[in-house]
A and B are shown apart, each in its own frame.
Chain A
Amino acid sequence: MLNVLKAITTRELIIAYRNKGSWINGILFFIIISSIFPIILNHNPEILSKFAPIIIWLAFLLGLLFSLDAMFKQDFDIGTFEEYYLSKHPFSLLLLIKTSIHLLIILIPILIILPLVLIAYDLNIAQIWVLFITIVLGSPALVFIGSICASITVGLSRGGILLVILALPLYIPILILSCASFLYFVDGHSIKAQLALLLASSIIAVLIAPFLSASVLKSGLQCGS
């Protein structure tokens, strides 16, 4: 089992290393979106510090949706998933590993540049930490729920828009929880409950999503070949 983990991790990391555009574009997208908002909001610090979580989350979310569209596409087209399907290990487990590594590849660069971006938003250190924690706790739910939708749209030539339409309504509770916990924190309340709920939804998504996307991808493979 460790062999599999190691093999898939190495493969994904090599692909990410050789194909830097796939994740650097995501970071650039995040930086551009989050710096366009201060420009069009007339750099009013009051509005900016209030809307910071919403803007950051939207920039993160949209970048994530684009990367989700690409996440399964290549592997589906060149037949990696057929290999996964035929291997002796459960397909859902392999998908779980693959999706987790994808999550780390997009999450870590964003977390590194997040403090730099947030300086422009006039937030203090504690607020930056809260935003940091909500992104860390919420992003597994986003990526794994999105992976189900991505497996539905993977065979389509123009699945990107459909992916956005499918995924965004399902994301609403997580968006609300994370933005609300930031505003709660600014008002001086305890936000343990919201963070616990975020973590809970992430855990549930991680536990359930690989089975569902594996079952959809299996049918897709059978139908395609």
Chain B
Amino acid sequence: MWQLIHKLGSPSFFYTKSKYFTPWVFCGFIMFLLIGLLQGLYLSPIDYQQQDAVKIMYVHVPSAFLALMIYSLIGINSILYLIWRVKLLDVMASVSAPIGAGFAGIALLTGAIWGKPMWGTWWIWDARLTSTLILLFIYFGYIGIRSAIPDLKLSAKCAAIFGMLGLVDLPVIHYSVNWWNTLHQGSSVIKFAKPDIETGMLYPLVFMLLAFILFYVFLLLTYARAELLWRERNTAWARKFIME
């Protein structure tokens, strides 16, 4: 068991194995994306109130989900990195952060585009919107640490500690914002209680979610491979790959 984990954490093992893995992930992503888009855009029922605008959901919900998921992964990675100092975990976390920030940005942007026809406003200081925005700020801070500290080991440690701190603080932020808004504006907030979603809408949503997750995995593997090769450029195994 320990040997397996040790092997998985070794950069050269990851680099050689992920090479065969990446194209399949990409194929899976394209497949789920096509199914999801086809079902979502053509076959899914139209909401009786929102009409065609409801179709933004198929991009909005998965990207919001991924923004949170990626941050949780970064946080867990950070804790594991602080315990075991596996280089690979640090590489994963460092390349995940810009991707996660991108998804958070997409979620906010599509949310605004969706909100304009539905609620009549681009932005409200609703709890979910606010906490997604703060999540984006935390991503920026995390990326800021990575880019500001030139020493790799130090930046890995600082980023890991900040990532862990963010993981602990995010639920607190979410609940405090939630509580504050219900206290503060109560009835004036436009309620968007989750409608009981219909199966016709649920399936394309699930497919899109799978597609987005595979897309993330694909990006993660690609960037992690590049980053790994760059960091290990002076070792024997990396030289061998570069020569080829």
A169 at the interface (CB under 8 A from B): yes
B179 to chain A: which residues have CB within 8 Å?
176
| Minimal beta-carbon separation of B170 from chain A (angstroms) | 9
Across the interface, do A212 and B161 meet the contact criterion of CB distance under 8 Å? yes
A24 to chain B: which residues have CB within 8 Å?
none
| Minimal beta-carbon separation of A100 from chain B (angstroms) | 20
Given contacts A152-B161, A159-B148, A166-B144, contact A219 B137 (CB under 8 A): no
A116 to chain B: which residues have CB within 8 Å?
none
A41 at the interface (CB under 8 A from B): no
B-contacting residues, A80-123, CB 8 Å: none
Q: How far is the CA of A220 from the CA of B145 in the complex (A)?
A: 13
Q: How far is the CA of A145 from the CA of B145 in the complex (A)?
A: 16
Count residues of chain B with CB under 8 A from any CB of chain A: 27
Across the interface, do A162 and B148 meet the contact criterion of CB distance under 8 Å? yes
A168 to chain B: which residues have CB within 8 Å?
137
B145 to chain A: which residues have CB within 8 Å?
152, 162, 166
| Minimal beta-carbon separation of B192 from chain A (angstroms) | 22
Given contacts A152-B162, A162-B144, contact A172 B149 (CB under 8 A): no
A155 at the interface (CB under 8 A from B): yes
Across the interface, do A172 and B165 meet the contact criterion of CB distance under 8 Å? no
B165 to chain A: which residues have CB within 8 Å?
145, 148, 170, 212
Across the interface, do A169 and B141 meet the contact criterion of CB distance under 8 Å? yes
| Minimal beta-carbon separation of B110 from chain A (angstroms) | 22
| Minimal beta-carbon separation of A77 from chain B (angstroms) | 16
Chain A interface helix/strand/loop/mixed: helix
Q: How far is the CA of A91 from the CA of B232 in the complex (A)?
A: 33
Across the interface, do B154 and A223 meet the contact criterion of CB distance under 8 Å? yes
A188 at the interface (CB under 8 A from B): no
Q: How far is the CA of A209 from the CA of B161 in the complex (A)?
A: 11
Across the interface, do A223 and B137 meet the contact criterion of CB distance under 8 Å? no
B76 at the interface (CB under 8 A from A): no
Q: List 28 A-B contacts (CB under 8 A).
A: A148-B162, A152-B145, A155-B149, A156-B149, A162-B141, A162-B148, A165-B137, A166-B141, A168-B137, A169-B137, A169-B138, A169-B166, A170-B138, A170-B166, A170-B169, A172-B173, A173-B172, A173-B173, A176-B177, A176-B180, A180-B183, A180-B184, A212-B161, A215-B157, A219-B154, A219-B157, A219-B158, A223-B153
- Chain A residues in the interface with B (C-beta under 8 A): 145, 148-149, 152-153, 155-156, 159, 162, 165-166, 168-170, 172-173, 176-177, 180, 183-184, 212, 215-216, 219-220, 223
- Chain B residues in the interface with A (C-beta under 8 A): 134, 137-138, 140-141, 144-145, 148-149, 151, 153-154, 157-158, 161-162, 165-166, 169, 172-173, 176-177, 179-180, 183-184
